[in-house]
Structure 1
Amino acid sequence: MTDEATVTPPQDSESPTIVRHAILTVLTLMSVLLYLDRFAVNIASEFIREDLQMTQTQMSWFISAFFWSYALCQVPAGWLSDRLGGRAMMTLYIIAWSIFTGLMGAASAVWVVLWLRVFCGAAQAGAYPTSASLIRQWYPISKRGMASSLVGLGGRFGAVLAPLMTAWLILYFVGDSSASKLAPTDFLDPVALLARFDGPLDNATPRDKFISGYLAQLPETERSQLRDHAALAAAQLKQQEQEAKPTPLLDLADWVPRFGANDVPEVPEIPIQFREAIDAFAARVSDANLIDFTAVPVRLPADAQRLLARRQQQNDLSEAESTLLNRSALEVLFPKEIRKYQGRGWRPTIILYGFIGIGVALVLFVVARNHPESHPWCNGAELEVINDEPTRWAKSREPGNPTFPWRAFLTSLSLWGNSLTQFFTNIGWLFVVTSLPRYLDNVHSVPLVTKGVMTAFPSGLGILGLFAGGRATDWAFHVFGLKSGRRIPLVASRFVAAGGYGLCLIVSALFTPTPENWWLPWLYIVGLCIASMSVDFGSPAIWAYAQDVGGRYTASILGWGNMWGNLGAAVAPLVYNMVLGENPTVGDWNNVFLMCCGVFVLSGFCAMLLDSTKPLTVERAS
């Protein structure tokens, strides 16, 4: 049956079908995929950066590129859905971003992954505006807040799933432990590695303790030769640092296609005068006595911890297992000098996500229709539920063939309040889903799987925030009325989110990151959980506001607000990078926390401008 099919009137004994719930379920599944594909690259970002030899500035543009196109395509994508129908456009959007995601796993050059992220962002831009339009068609006005929160809930579940599932799949695709052998391509900076062995050691850090123990194991002749190499490397490294030019915020050459041999990053060249020392270091990785783990407190990944426990209890590790244990420890001790052996698993993981997305698109095309009246599975009783009296009255006020209301969008103070609320919110919120893995690795040396779990926690509690926020939005509407009922949940949530980042600053002032303080990262996670949960608590109010004032323009108005929110998300990684630089200190990270706290305060003040009692059509007519 086609979309033009009609539905018979309800009979007295007819029970409503549940097609609307089936469509909502598929939209929620789409939302899971949306965030899974969007944020999977963040937990794998260090692997991608090492694989493609990207600077931190290039990596910030890799993250930012998605949000620029995502933001700027919100209104066009929403308009296309309003004009051409949500079913066809949503299917097209999912297939497109899934293909671009999968291709990213096969990319071999910086310019390729940058443009694929641009295209992926453009394709994902229509997802939520189109979802809002379909919800408006399939749910009565009194149920849209909860329905919207469930779709948003799917996105947050995808954000929880992304670090957990990606970390697990990366390790799964790495496979056997032979990948842990050190090869020339595994040395990201061999000169810097040798320079670590030069000069006095105070044994204050695990790395210094390892170097002291390593030198003590060498015969005097080899130790003297290594010291000579280290002194030469330290002098060369110092000269490189003096001659290094500042990395520009935007290098247009990064975006220009280059075909041929230059496409693939060259293998880092080990200077001939250092090759012998590096080869000797690499050869020792299989030595069971390379690291004295009782003297060197290394925070190992879970698989390496199990190997270490077995060696201490049974002392029966094979050479391959000893190699894996040592390689894992060396990656923690020298994170900027030695490539992580798990890195090769990111490519098949991203490709798999692309195939999953195509499957979701096909399911949505089968289940969804643009209107309840044209769905062959929807009976008359369900139509009566969807089109109750308040909903019919609201739809009767909509114009038949509207043009895009640019003037109303640009002159409404309420819409600008909504836009700026989302702009400032995303600057603060994006840290949790994009930069948190780097922070945990840089400051606290958290292993991959643990890092995935920690990164998932804020988004996981965000799910509770969304569920509670959907209920609170509908409750506030009944208690405080339309105007205050939409404002109150949104304003309060932004101020509480600012408090979450304030808690991170307090923790930083009280405690110093050390290997012994293994529990310290969890205190930061608590603060970020508060921020994330608060942001999501207010999200259903934003969706409901767009549906309140949008009418026929619901997808377009949600797209307009999302555009400004994602402009904030596009700016955020570039601002973070300006604050952090290539080698951030703990103080630099605290400055990012302070900035995020401030923008949430600004977001709360802007939310006070929202007014759901002024529909867009009324403002346009007046």
Structure 2
Amino acid sequence: MRRWLVVGITAAAAFWLYIDRVCFSTLADPIRTDLGLSDSERNTALGMFFLTYALFQVPVGMLADRYGARRVLTLAFLAWSTVTFATGLVQGLAGLLAMRLLLGVSEAGAYPAAAGLIKAWARPHERGRFSSLVALGGRIGGAIAPWLTVATAALLAGYTWSMWDNPSGVPWRNVFFAYGLCGILVALIFWGLVRDQPPDSPTRPESSSSAHRGAYLPTLCRQFALCFRSANMVLFSLMQFGVNLGWGFLITLMPSYLNEQFDVPLQERGQMQSTALFIGCCGMFFGGWVTDGCRYAFGVRWGRRVPLIIALAGCALALGIVPLLTSPWAVVLVLGVMAFLVDLHNPVLWAFAQDVGGKNVGAALGFGNMWGNLGAALSPVLLGAIREAFDWNAAFMVGAVAFLAATASAACLDATRPVEADPPQR
């Protein structure tokens, strides 16, 4: 029962992680109006988050390996909730960019730390389903964030602050204040309920080992060196880069595509995008059971490869089909299948990092996430440029090729080969 409580509260943390991350895009236009920003300045602010979020995956993930997931995840939760609250205080572009950069830093270690926590509390055959439930919390948060943000803004519309101009008429500052305070409350609950490992565990927390007590910067460099020297981790990173390069279309360019290709009204475009994302949430839920079932049926090595190969090849096929479709809702359903398959494979990523990471689980997952988020950051830039140079069909073909490259990388992963081999016994 205690193990499920740990999973549930960690999933709640992931839920708020995505609420605080996604709400900015919902409020981006009124923020631009009230702060007097240009479209390019607004877009720059949107992109700044992914830069620091990607670059700090390994450094913060290693802190979780070093000092314990409970401590680091609680501090991260408090930090990103404080940054969310402080976003409501910004006065111009410089402050807004600073908050976006800080949000990326503070959220970067959340999933790597959670992966280490799940490894400690889950039995090996449960890692997939426990990881999927935590990641599902984040996905639900991302899917519900636009609706919840609009509803919260409407609820708080009567509370205005005379010290700030509000020409947009949208109380976006109040939304950030409310989200920040709620996040701090959940962080305190997390600290009170969660421990680094079960009380009956016969081993000490891995973070207390001497391997994690050396100087931080040399150890960080060593972690990067280990990951770059590991063929497994290079393939793991290439796979995530390709996946997010193709999947990024769903959360960045999909509304523009529906508008240009099918002339879909704004409100309906939002409904269509949410529909695809909610279909994806179903994949995240079932992915854990698929992950654990494949491990049981095929063993560790092929049990990790098989679901990745099937899911990512299916994503490539889905993007390849989109140019043939003549109905916007048909496009939504096919992209929903792609989202389902991407989310279905996500628990395998966590389980793979837990399999090969050893005492470096946070760093292993963080290294792959870093390259995945760099792929997400590149996705709208590259696919948008291809669309301008050629057309949308060419952009979909590039996304499909990215998924095929990810499939090839997945086929070569070996979950039986750790990032760092155990030292020989004397």
Q: TM-score range by the shorter chain?
A: 0.7 to 0.9
Residue 595 (str. 1) matches residue 398 (str. 2): yes
Tell me, yes or no, if the aligned pair for 2:291 and 2:348 is still in contact at 8 Å. yes
Paired position in structure 2 for 1:401: 211
334, 337, 352: which one pairs with 2:178? Answer: 352
AA of the residue aligned to 1:358: I
Cα distance change, pair 454–50 in 1 and its aligned pair in 2 (3 A): farther
57, 60, 70: which one pairs with 2:53? Answer: 70
Cα distance change, pair 108–594 in 1 and its aligned pair in 2 (3 A): farther
258, 262, 265: which one pairs with 1:446? Answer: 265
Task: Provide Cα deviations, 1:288-327, integer angstroms capped at 9, x if missing partner.
Answer: xxxxxxxxxxxxxxxxxxxxxxxxxxxxxxxxxxxxxxxx
Deviation of 1:63 after TM superposition, in Å, equals 2.5
Residue 420 (str. 1) matches residue 246 (str. 2): no
Cα distance change, pair 606–619 in 1 and its aligned pair in 2 (3 A): farther
Paired position in structure 2 for 1:274: none
Secondary structure of the residue aligned to 1:371 is: coil
Tell me, yes or no, if the aligned pair for 1:549 and 1:612 is still in contact at 8 Å. yes
Secondary structure of the residue aligned to 2:170 is: helix
How far apart, in 1, do the equivalents of 2:415 and 2:301 lie?
5
Cα distance change, pair 453–102 in 1 and its aligned pair in 2 (3 A): farther
How far apart, in 1, do the equivalents of 2:364 and 2:224 lie?
10
Paired position in structure 1 for 2:137: 154
AA of the residue aligned to 2:336: C
Deviation of 1:460 after TM superposition, in Å, equals 1.3
Residue 31 (str. 1) matches residue 14 (str. 2): yes
AA of the residue aligned to 1:574: V
Cα distance change, pair 45–506 in 1 and its aligned pair in 2 (3 A): farther
Cα distance change, pair 565–551 in 1 and its aligned pair in 2 (3 A): same
Cα distance change, pair 555–521 in 1 and its aligned pair in 2 (3 A): same
Cα distance change, pair 36–135 in 1 and its aligned pair in 2 (3 A): same
Task: Provide Cα deviations, 1:119-147, integer angstroms capped at 9, x if missing partner.
Answer: 10110011001101111111222211111
- Where in structure 1 are there 5+ consecutive unaligned residues? 1-17, 177-263, 268-340, 374-379, 511-519
Secondary structure of the residue aligned to 1:614 is: coil
How far apart, in 1, do the equivalents of 2:400 and 2:86 lie?
37
Tell me, yes or no, if the aligned pair for 1:61 and 1:573 is still in contact at 8 Å. no
Paired position in structure 2 for 1:188: none
Secondary structure of the residue aligned to 1:504 is: helix
Residue 543 (str. 1) matches residue 336 (str. 2): no
How far apart, in 1, do the equivalents of 2:289 and 2:306 lie?
13
Task: Provide Cα deviations, 1:492-551, integer angstroms capped at 9, x if missing partner.
Answer: 2112112232333222xx3xxxxxxxxx43232212211111101111111111011111
AA of the residue aligned to 1:606: S
AA of the residue aligned to 1:499: L
Paired position in structure 2 for 1:370: 196
Tell me, yes or no, if the aligned pair for 2:73 and 2:110 is still in contact at 8 Å. yes
142, 145, 156: which one pairs with 2:125? Answer: 142
Give matches, 1:84-99, under 5 Å: 84-99=67-82
How far apart, in 2, do the equivalents of 1:54 and 1:136 lie?
44
425, 429, 432: which one pairs with 2:250? Answer: 432
Task: Provide Cα deviations, 1:218-264, integer angstroms capped at 9, x if missing partner.
Answer: xxxxxxxxxxxxxxxxxxxxxxxxxxxxxxxxxxxxxxxxxxxxxx9
Secondary structure of the residue aligned to 1:401 is: helix
Deviation of 1:441 after TM superposition, in Å, equals 5.7
Give matches, 1:55-454, under 5 Å: 55-174=38-157, 344-373=170-199, 380=200, 383=201, 401=211, 404-440=222-258, 444-448=263-267, 450-454=268-272
Count of residue correspondences:
410
How far apart, in 2, do the equivalents of 1:620 and 1:62 lie?
46
Deviation of 1:433 after TM superposition, in Å, equals 2.4
Tell me, yes or no, if the aligned pair for 2:316 and 2:401 is still in contact at 8 Å. yes
How far apart, in 1, do the equivalents of 2:397 and 2:338 lie?
13
AA of the residue aligned to 1:48: I
Rg larger in structure: 1
How far apart, in 2, do the equivalents of 1:19 and 1:113 lie?
40
Task: Provide Cα deviations, 1:255-299, integer angstroms capped at 9, x if missing partner.
Answer: xxxxxxxxx99x9xxxxxxxxxxxxxxxxxxxxxxxxxxxxxxxx
Paired position in structure 2 for 1:534: 341
Paired position in structure 1 for 2:290: 472
Deviation of 1:110 after TM superposition, in Å, equals 2.2
How far apart, in 2, do the equivalents of 1:452 and 1:345 lie?
21
Deviation of 1:107 after TM superposition, in Å, equals 2.5
AA of the residue aligned to 1:525: V
When the two chains are superposed, the root-mean-square deviation of aligned CA atoms in Å is: 3.0
How far apart, in 2, do the equivalents of 1:160 and 1:81 lie?
28
Give matches, 1:544-583, under 5 Å: 544-576=351-383, 578-579=385-386
Cα distance change, pair 529–503 in 1 and its aligned pair in 2 (3 A): same
Tell me, yes or no, if the aligned pair for 2:320 and 2:396 is still in contact at 8 Å. yes
Task: Provide Cα deviations, 1:328-384, integer angstroms capped at 9, x if missing partner.
Answer: xxxxxxxxxxxxx976243332332222211111110111112323xxxxxx5xx5x
Paired position in structure 2 for 1:198: none
Tell me, yes or no, if the aligned pair for 2:115 and 2:365 is still in contact at 8 Å. yes
How far apart, in 1, do the equivalents of 2:177 and 2:254 lie?
24
Q: Which runs of 4+ in 1 moved over 6 A?
A: none
Deviation of 1:447 after TM superposition, in Å, equals 3.8
Tell me, yes or no, if the aligned pair for 1:56 and 1:577 is still in contact at 8 Å. no
Deviation of 1:439 after TM superposition, in Å, equals 4.6
How far apart, in 2, do the equivalents of 1:505 and 1:173 lie?
43
Tell me, yes or no, if the aligned pair for 2:112 and 2:366 is still in contact at 8 Å. yes
How far apart, in 1, do the equivalents of 2:88 and 2:269 lie?
22
Task: Provide Cα deviations, 1:558-603, integer angstroms capped at 9, x if missing partner.
Answer: 11111111111222243355456xxx79x75544433322322221
Secondary structure of the residue aligned to 1:364 is: helix
Task: Identify the range of structure 1 (491-500 vs 112-121) with the bigger mean alpha-carbon deviation.
Answer: 491-500
How far apart, in 1, do the equivalents of 2:187 and 2:258 lie?
35
Tell me, yes or no, if the aligned pair for 1:170 and 1:345 is still in contact at 8 Å. yes
399, 402, 407: which one pairs with 1:604? Answer: 407
Deviation of 1:75 after TM superposition, in Å, equals 0.8
Residue 618 (str. 1) matches residue 425 (str. 2): no
Task: Provide Cα deviations, 1:591-616, integer angstroms capped at 9, x if missing partner.
Answer: 44333223222211221221101112
Tell me, yes or no, if the aligned pair for 2:312 and 2:341 is still in contact at 8 Å. yes
Specify which structure has the higher proportion of helix.
2
Cα distance change, pair 442–410 in 1 and its aligned pair in 2 (3 A): same
Cα distance change, pair 440–170 in 1 and its aligned pair in 2 (3 A): farther
How far apart, in 2, do the equivalents of 1:425 and 1:50 lie?
34
Secondary structure of the residue aligned to 1:612 is: coil
